[in-house]
Structure 1
Amino acid sequence: MSYEQLLERARALTTGPRRILGLVGAPGSGKSTLAARLAADLGPELAVVVGMDGYHYADVVLEALGRRERKGAPDTFDVGGYVSLLRRLRSGEESVVHAPQFRREIEEPVGSALPVPREVPLVITEGNYLLLREGPWAALEGLLDECWYLEPADDVRQARLIARHEAFGKDPAAARAWALGTDEDNARVIAASRHRADLVVHPD
């Protein structure tokens, strides 16, 4: 499916009541890039991007739990907080909902950084585990109007990941080790949820 077709499919979700479109895929699959492009082309009056990564546990919490070296795994997120946010966004009861954002330059979430006005009809949310249904992630059932699974070629995805880790401070060896270790472990978990997607997208 071409980008233009994806854009029109997203545009169709902007009519009527508030809708939530999910973009899911393994680390490095292009979720943030596609979400940002769709939102830019639809315009701020129609769409806003709210990432799941805003609900990463802070590093101090991960260290206390002994999970810092597994950051990005399903049990390193405040799932209940994310579920609550999606419910608030769906309800449309508040004039503005302030969502957290994940800032890659500090590798930490920042609370209440993104205002989402009630008038914006489409929320695009992207993250790794939108289709996971184990444990607390099961509460996501029914909260997304559509969910698209992004599936680029593995070598392309892994190369992107290594470059990203290097850009944000890891040395080449550490970047490669994380991308092919922790990230790849998470990718296998995410791939197991692929069958629940409404659409599989193969980005360039």
Structure 2
Amino acid sequence: MDASIQRLSELIKHHARERRILVALAGPPGAGKSTLADSLKKALSAENIQTQVVPMDGFHLDDAILVERGLRPRKGAPKTYDVAGLKVLLERLRSETASDVFYPVFDRATESSRAAADKVGPEHRVVIVEGNYLLLDEPVWRDIAALFDHTIMVTAPLAELQRRLVQRWLNHDYSADEAQEKVAGNDLLNAELVVTRSLAADLTIED
């Protein structure tokens, strides 16, 4: 992974000195996107390139809306996100480089998003947007993919993703049976969708 981070840093930093760069860091749940995003941010910051990580999860639809639409059991699937809102944010990040741009942040403790909970400022030359479906080859999502300067896919074999996802739920005090049910009924379906229906990335990393 260290070699991949160095390669990514070299790829991005030259252009970032000229203008703000938007980077898509896509991949299935459990692939290690957040870890890679944080490591890349540190590597770029060490080169004096101010970087902000913007998780896509802030655009989760609220549980009340998901319940109303019968989608609560599939929370995390593409149709449970405000994809149009995400597109507007990306367009603003490209055009409004001289002012603060605020964005929502998902709070896992309450399972809800907090509006305008963080910001990208004029000092941020690189914005890493991290999320499952940033390269999804479906309507509207394709428009999002076109807004990035660099695209990265981080992935892992499905069996390994399943193991990590089960462990994630076990870490949240779910029983073994409950964890397996959560993964089989939702998480693994989402992972398979990302693996099979994403546009080609500029760079693919298998963790």
Q: TM-score, normalised by structure 1?
A: 0.90
Give the Å deviation of 1:169. 4.3
Two-structure CA RMSD over aligned residues (Å): 1.9
SS of residue in 2 equivalent to 1:181: helix
By how many angstroms is 1:13 displaced?
Answer: 4.2
Match of residue 187 from structure 1? 191
Map 1:94-105 onto structure 2 (within 5 A): 95-105=99-109
Aligned to 1:116: 120
SS state of the match for residue 16, structure 2?
coil
Distance 1:191 1:179 in 2: 16
- 2:179 aligns with 175
Q: Which amino acid aligns with 1:37?
A: S
Count of residues in correspondence between the two structures:
203
What amino acid is the match of 1:2? S
Q: Tell me the amino acid that sits aligned with residue 31 of structure 1.
A: K
Give runs of aligned pairs for residues 34-73 of structure 1, distance below 5 A.
Answer: 34-43=36-45, 46-73=50-77
Instruction: Select the residue among 3, 6, 19 that pairs with 2:8.
Output: 6
Gaps of 5+ in 2: none
Deviation at 1:103, TM superposition (A): 2.0
Q: Does 1:80 align with 2:84?
A: yes
**Further displaced range: 82-91 or 154-163:** 154-163
Task: Give 1:93 deviation, angstroms.
Answer: 4.7
Q: For residues 142-167 of structure 1, give each alpha carbon's deviation from its aligned partner in whole angstroms, at most 9, with x where no partner exists.
A: 20111111122323322221122222
Q: How many Å apart are 1:171 and its aligned residue? A: 2.7
Contact 2:31 2:154 in 1 (8 A): yes
Match of 1:17 among 16, 19, 26: 19
Q: Structure 1: which amino acid aligns with 2:151?
A: C
Q: Which residue of 1 aligns with 2:157?
A: 153
Inter-partner Cα distance in structure 2 for 1:88 and 1:48: 15
- TM-score, with structure 2 as normaliser: 0.89
Aligned to 1:2, what secondary structure does the other structure show? Answer: helix
Distance 1:195 1:93, change over 3 A: closer
Contact 1:24 1:149 in 2 (8 A): yes
